[in-house]
Structure 1
Amino acid sequence: MLGGVRPPIAALVVLLLVVAALTVIGLDGIQAERIPQAVLNGEQQISADTALSVRTAIDVEASTVRRTANAYPATSTSTPATALKALTSARKAVLGSALLDPHTGKLLAAGGKPVPLAGVDVAGTASGHGAIRPRLVTSGGTRQLLYFARVTVPAQQEDANQDQYQAPSRPDRQWLLVVCETLPTLTTYGDGRTAEVLDASGTALATTVRGTASPAAADSGLPATAARAARDSGRDTDGSGSLLGATTGSRRTVAGWAQVASATGPGDADGLGLVVLTSRAVPATTGGADYSRFALEAAGALAGVALLLGLALHFLVQRPLLRLYLSAGRLARGATEGGPAALEELTRPVPVHGFGELARIGRALESLRRQLLGESGPQDFPARRGPGYRALAVAGVVVVACWAMPMIFLLNRADTATAVPAPVLADQQARTEIATNRIRQSLDQSYTDLSDVAAGLPGRSRAAQAEVLQRTLADHKQYRSLYLLDRSGGITLRVGGTPLRTLVHVPGGSGITTVNTSGRIPAIAAYSQVRAVKGKAPAAGVVLFGEIDVKALNSVLPRPKLGSVWVTDRDNRVLAASVGYRAFQSLPDPGLTRLARATQGAPGTAGTATSAVLRTSSGPSVDAAAPLAQSGPTAGLGWHVVTTEPAAALQIPAVQAEQRTMLAGILGLTLGAACLGWLHVVVIRPLRAVAVLVERLAGGDRRTVLHPVNHDEVGSVTRGLELMRQALAERDRAERDRAARSGHAAGPSQSLRQTTLQRQ
């Protein structure tokens, strides 16, 4: 049962003491370390982002090699040499290539540098039916990647004049294409940062440095430690972590490692055992705020408030109410029972305790006692009232608020300028640049794929062109629609969904653009000129457009602990985002818009990345912006990538202290107000109603029936008053009957004392 005066008061004291204990636990647990955990987490995420870029590059290259092999129009007369030249002549990244017999491993054709096949079981590699994963091999002391693909060649007929229905069917031939390439180019972001690609033993396969690396960052033991940690986490997972390296002066090396492996299922990079290690030297903090003393002081103050309120409510509400409950029960027994004991109950005056409603009820009960004894008649009470117990509840909320409001709005406020360590801000900018590079690579790949398709359209029939576009749409999931335009901008051939374009124009050259400026879905498209080739039939149009599904672009943006990511056009309108958005809306905060504009450089330049700490309604946030591209098909667009991460999610001590202090204040105020509200509902409000009813009863109202609502002290007082009302009403009715029988007007009411003596 939640009624009664005791539970709300006890809950108020206990819950406020619990909040005081949580305040000590929460704030005392914040440790100001020499290297903040946010810096370690940032380096870990940078290594994971870099590993993702390496993994994506390997997956894209492996898919491209397989797709090229599958699309090769081999005939029964194709030779290995001509097939190898056609398959690899357009690929600049190829160091060497070879066509092998998949059953015997015999070399059928070779191009470029010799392919290091020593130790490769060709027959075993080609025996499966699925895609063949890349292999990591050594050639001339350097590590290289081998990509594999199967090439199907129609079987040759022994006699061209033989009836095809009489000739025995021959199975198609298969060749194994092997392409040798270097490791993907490793790009590093953040001044002074070193990035390395390690093999399973911890040997560095590729190393890049951004700017000038600090001597403190040269820690020879980090690669072996990172490789060992990667092995312990499992070879085919995307595990990552952070490490602390050597200390040089006031700077210490912070490192992050991440495996180049897929997290969403089997991938081409799985099994290579590659690990990305990033590191840089950061200044160690010399000291930090100690929140232990503040936690004890705040908890002590709240404990004092809890005890003060508990004692005040005990002496001003609970004890007077319990005494009133006993007095009402005593009068009810005296009014309903006979004998000297009942008379003795009535002869004892009713003490008036407390103030407000309890005092009013006490005075009314004393009047009823006197009426039951016949010492007085009905008594009117003044309508003017003093402060009641509602004011006491409000005062209790104010007392709790005096502790909570400074906790919420004033104490331990993080300074926007100094709360976020400089390395954390630099890491957000570096991660934004990595995200920008990832988006740029995705758009560049879409453009490259479309250009390859456009180059193969001339010389084909319209049906063959439609088949090529349909196959391209099936192979490249990022496109939602492919179509050819004539010189007037009309669509002459289309596959896929209905185009979203609203800008009808025929651009010159090739690149990436937007084809609408309004609507529910932004339309980003790659386009390429379809060049006329002498001696070949012209294509169905002069420009090939491939509208990119914005969902595919949105899926590239999210990364752990990077926060919200937006891609904006040159007018800072949103084209894609990792969170919910409306097409072409403005950025959600003016500070983000100013930050995006700050990346713009001089006319004709792409600009540079920038970062800042902005104050929002929920606390400081770490924000960064970067131009999308400085070269390539997206360079002239003027697009930006903007990111924002709440500082509270980055384990920054000052921000954690602010958040936990605010949380303690909110909890204290909420629980205190809730308990006092509970007290108001179950005690104070019923008391106000009972006070009005008992004063009416003492004033002569014998008709209003008093119904107890709750089974608690106030309900018991109400039941006692109802018994007294019934006794008084019965006595008044008896007096009226006696007067009616005697024919005289009713005299003074017979007292309950006389009635009791007559019963004896």
Structure 2
Amino acid sequence: MPLLGGVRPPIASLVVLLLVVAALTVVGLGDVHAERVPQAVLNGEQQIAADTALSVRTMIDVEASTVRRTAAAYPATSTSTPATTLKALTSARKAVLGSALLDSHTGKLLAAGGRPVPLAGVDAAGLTSGHGSIRPRLVTSGGTRQLLYFAKVTLPAQQEDANQDQYQAQSRTERQWLLVASEALPALTAYGDGRTAEVLDASGTALATAAHGTASPAAADSGLPASAARAAKGSGQDSDASGSLPGATTGGRRTVAGWAQVASATGPGDTDGLGLVVLTSRAVPLATATADYSRFALQAAGALAAIALLLGLLLHYSVQRPLLRLYLSADRLARGATEPGPAAWAELARPVPVHGFGELARIGRALESLRRQLLGEGGPQEFPARRGPGYRALAAVCAVLVAGWAVPMIFLLNRADTATAVPAPVLAAQQARTEIATSRIRQSFDQSYTDLSDVAASLPGRSRAAQTEALKRTLADHKRFRSLYLLDRSGGIALRVGDTPLRTLVHVPSGSGITTVNTSGRIPAIAAYAQVRAVKGKAPAAGVVLFGEIDVNTLNAGLARPKLGSVWVTDDHDRVLAASVGYRAFQALPDSGLTRLARATQGAPGTAGTATSAVLSSSSGPSVDAAAPLAQSGPTARLRWHVVTAEPAAALQLPAVQAEQRTMLAGILALTLSVACLGWLHVVVVRPLRSVALLVERLAGGDRRTVLHPVNHDEVGSVTRGLELMRQALAERGRAGRSGQAGFGHAGSGHAVGTSGFRRENTLQR
């Protein structure tokens, strides 16, 4: 028999696969335990550390880029002096603690300002010789750790006086200075009540610390900073590695910590080589109740194993064995119908046993009738049209038996309680991460506004060509903008660079800030805008307000974070402006519960509001959701926008949710595999048997014309081939009988038919 044909493979597969599902149930549910500190809590703290590290990395990258961009944009002339150049580059930057200007060839200090800058180990020639950007360095000055930012200042060529020998080698060549600016580490913020955030160096020494609420520093657990530094050092080439650490237990609470490297996640960046690590920690209450699903797993697996063995025995004794016996009987009758001699008589002499029920019983009874017809002991026999239940009903009963185990597993057992399945620390972590995401988005908007304001301040007094060139340079330097344009007093566009504006609102706003410039369409248009103020004695700019439309794709790409779920930015009417998942512009949030959560963040008029979180249920299951107001201060202060996040509880490593998922998976697997195997049995056995039963009953009823073609090369196909041989034998005997009647005329029936034994022998000879 073929490997996938016959009655044995589907029955054996059904039993084996159900036993495999039973084993997987034991393995999958047996290792689900409710620990005192769930793994989801540790994972949440790890992600908070990673988000905080991303914020620190972004601030360092932005500051380094700003220093370089300011130096590159400085309009140096051949008469610029080091002192005036240094003052122009650093006087407007409040974050700069100290600055210095070095000669790129000799390393000589040309000018200094503010606090002394530690220049030990600074190789001006080596730093300026390359074509790429110069990464910041972490140094110690006055007992504190600071960051040194570097930038190249290029001056045009000039003819120096012969007495100034230090410039003789540079005559008629372009000069280059090295700007060094020292700044403190970026301000660190801790989110979530009771949480501490620290920035560590490579040795585990805390460089900056922030706490929120009643938090106690992680240094109180003296082993955590050193452990985080060692873990970061052991991460190898994974520059954006992160992890979690369990801390000490005190008074029914345990400290959980997360660490993450402050390094570029997309290749070489400004933070590479600094060796900074962010460590966050928070004391969480220990779970009082524990759950063990091992006993349930054994009971469920035992019940499924019993069902599998029961189905195997039922199908073996009701289908497999009767079909094999029927196959042997049909083969025996075919040999008796085609072979001459006494051996054929012996084959036909034994009655056909009728086994089973349904189609097999019908075929057995029809075969017995054909056996008698081959022996000449009877004629065609009619069979009743009404028949009892067949093997389709048996297959349905088998499916119902498995469904009786699988359906409760899918829909009833181990259901996670939405109210208690998600521990409070996990919910608090989602809220803290939402606040971090909100802060990062707000900083992005603030930076867009600052960059645009700087450009707007530089436009008056310059020619139209120079203004166009300034906008083009800004567009090239700031990839977040898709279009820059100046509006005149009538609201028309006086000057534009970049893509076609998406704006549909034609107005000239007062003040400066962040706004939307359309209310419909496929793409929301979020824009920063700044007034272009006229300067006395200088030519006015081409317009009065400078707009910079922010590329929403860039904004969307920055929203997604691991394990944070879906993220949406909504306006004051709760319409979606940006999202980490697919969306339509200005559509409502996908769930009304999320809308209510966003509205709950709104505070009293004139206040920013507060973040909030909740566990919400939907058709796809419970999810951990949070919302935070975007407006705090600065250009977004007047906006009543929100950031909303939703993480499915199924994605969190919560014991109750894991037990529910694996219970459902076991039920789905058992039901799917049983239906597949029973469908296989139906295709290769039950349906062919129904067809064969109809044909054999018609053959036993006298139909000698219908040719029986075996379709399958298995037991049913062998039965069909045997029936075809019997049909041919009966048809030939019928033709011979009609020929004999035509030759003898009416000589009498006694001349045509002798004794009963003679008829049997004559039939066998034919």
TM-score by length of 1: 0.97
Q: How does 1:21-32 map to 2 (within 5 A)?
A: 21-32=23-34
The correspondence for 2:608, drawn from 587, 606, 609, is 606
SS at match of 1:636: coil
* Structure 1 residue identity aligned to 2:34: A
- Cα deviation for residue 744 of structure 1 reads 3.3
Deviation per residue, 1:506-564 (Å, 9 max, x gap): 11100001111111111110000000111111100000000010111011111111111
Whole-angstrom CA distance in 1 between matches of 2:254 and 2:15:
48
Aligned partner of 2:761 in structure 1 is 757
Q: How does 1:118-517 map to 2 (within 5 A)?
A: 118-157=120-159, 170-214=172-216, 218-234=220-236, 237-517=239-519
Whole-angstrom CA distance in 2 between matches of 1:241 and 1:428:
17
Deviation per residue, 1:637-687 (Å, 9 max, x gap): 211111111212211111000000000000000001110111111000000
Aligned partner of 2:165 in structure 1 is none
Deviation per residue, 1:163-187 (Å, 9 max, x gap): xxxxx96111111111111100101
- Cα deviation for residue 158 of structure 1 reads 5.0
The correspondence for 1:565, drawn from 560, 567, 584, is 567
Whole-angstrom CA distance in 1 between matches of 2:653 and 2:68:
44
CA distance 1:215–1:110, change in 2 (3 Å): closer
The correspondence for 1:537, drawn from 509, 534, 539, is 539
Whole-angstrom CA distance in 2 between matches of 1:395 and 1:614:
39
Whole-angstrom CA distance in 2 between matches of 1:340 and 1:106:
122
Aligned partner of 1:696 in structure 2 is 698
Deviation per residue, 1:314-338 (Å, 9 max, x gap): 1111111111111111111111112
Whole-angstrom CA distance in 2 between matches of 1:607 and 1:441:
18
The question of whether the paired residues in 2 share the 8 Å contact of 1:607 and 1:627 is answered with yes
Whole-angstrom CA distance in 1 between matches of 2:601 and 2:756:
94
The correspondence for 1:720, drawn from 716, 719, 722, is 722
- Cα deviation for residue 30 of structure 1 reads 1.2
Deviation per residue, 1:378-433 (Å, 9 max, x gap): 11111011111100000111110000000000000100000011111111111111
CA RMSD, aligned part only? Answer: 1.8
Whole-angstrom CA distance in 2 between matches of 1:145 and 1:699:
101
* Structure 1 residue identity aligned to 2:626: A
- Identify unmatched segments of 5+ residues in structure 2: 163-169
The question of whether the paired residues in 2 share the 8 Å contact of 1:55 and 1:262 is answered with yes
Whole-angstrom CA distance in 2 between matches of 1:102 and 1:13:
80
The correspondence for 1:74, drawn from 52, 73, 76, is 76
Aligned partner of 2:112 in structure 1 is 110
- Identify unmatched segments of 5+ residues in structure 1: 161-167
SS at match of 1:633: helix
Deviation per residue, 1:699-736 (Å, 9 max, x gap): 10000000010111111111111111111100010010
The correspondence for 1:552, drawn from 551, 554, 572, is 554
Whole-angstrom CA distance in 1 between matches of 2:120 and 2:171:
36
Q: How does 1:732-747 map to 2 (within 5 A)?
A: 732-744=734-746
- Cα deviation for residue 105 of structure 1 reads 2.3
**Which has the larger displacement, 130-139 or 271-280?**
130-139
Aligned partner of 1:163 in structure 2 is none
Residue 683 (str. 1) matches residue 685 (str. 2): yes
**Which has the larger displacement, 657-666 or 112-121?**
112-121
* Structure 2 residue identity aligned to 1:556: G
Whole-angstrom CA distance in 2 between matches of 1:313 and 1:525:
71
Aligned partner of 1:624 in structure 2 is 626
The question of whether the paired residues in 2 share the 8 Å contact of 1:51 and 1:276 is answered with yes
**Which has the larger displacement, 236-245 or 460-469?**
236-245
- Cα deviation for residue 496 of structure 1 reads 0.4
**Which has the larger displacement, 232-241 or 645-654?**
232-241
The question of whether the paired residues in 1 share the 8 Å contact of 2:19 and 2:305 is answered with yes
SS at match of 1:184: coil
The question of whether the paired residues in 1 share the 8 Å contact of 2:160 and 2:171 is answered with no
Whole-angstrom CA distance in 1 between matches of 2:129 and 2:333:
101
The question of whether the paired residues in 1 share the 8 Å contact of 2:196 and 2:217 is answered with no
The question of whether the paired residues in 2 share the 8 Å contact of 1:216 and 1:246 is answered with no
Whole-angstrom CA distance in 2 between matches of 1:563 and 1:387:
53
SS at match of 1:512: strand
The question of whether the paired residues in 1 share the 8 Å contact of 2:525 and 2:550 is answered with yes
The question of whether the paired residues in 1 share the 8 Å contact of 2:151 and 2:179 is answered with yes
CA distance 1:105–1:380, change in 2 (3 Å): same
Whole-angstrom CA distance in 1 between matches of 2:584 and 2:756:
81
**Which has the larger displacement, 270-279 or 29-38?**
29-38
Whole-angstrom CA distance in 1 between matches of 2:515 and 2:342:
104
CA distance 1:463–1:731, change in 2 (3 Å): same
- Cα deviation for residue 59 of structure 1 reads 0.5
* Structure 2 residue identity aligned to 1:540: A
Whole-angstrom CA distance in 2 between matches of 1:114 and 1:252:
44
* Structure 2 residue identity aligned to 1:23: T
The question of whether the paired residues in 2 share the 8 Å contact of 1:339 and 1:756 is answered with no
Whole-angstrom CA distance in 1 between matches of 2:516 and 2:445:
12
- Percent of counterpart pairs with the same letter? 84
**Which has the larger displacement, 224-233 or 381-390?**
224-233
The question of whether the paired residues in 1 share the 8 Å contact of 2:376 and 2:759 is answered with no
Whole-angstrom CA distance in 1 between matches of 2:392 and 2:134:
78
The question of whether the paired residues in 2 share the 8 Å contact of 1:735 and 1:746 is answered with no
Whole-angstrom CA distance in 2 between matches of 1:26 and 1:121:
59
Residue 643 (str. 1) matches residue 648 (str. 2): no
Whole-angstrom CA distance in 2 between matches of 1:569 and 1:195:
31
* Structure 1 residue identity aligned to 2:220: A
SS at match of 2:419: coil
Whole-angstrom CA distance in 2 between matches of 1:606 and 1:630:
5
- Cα deviation for residue 159 of structure 1 reads 8.6
- Cα deviation for residue 121 of structure 1 reads 3.3
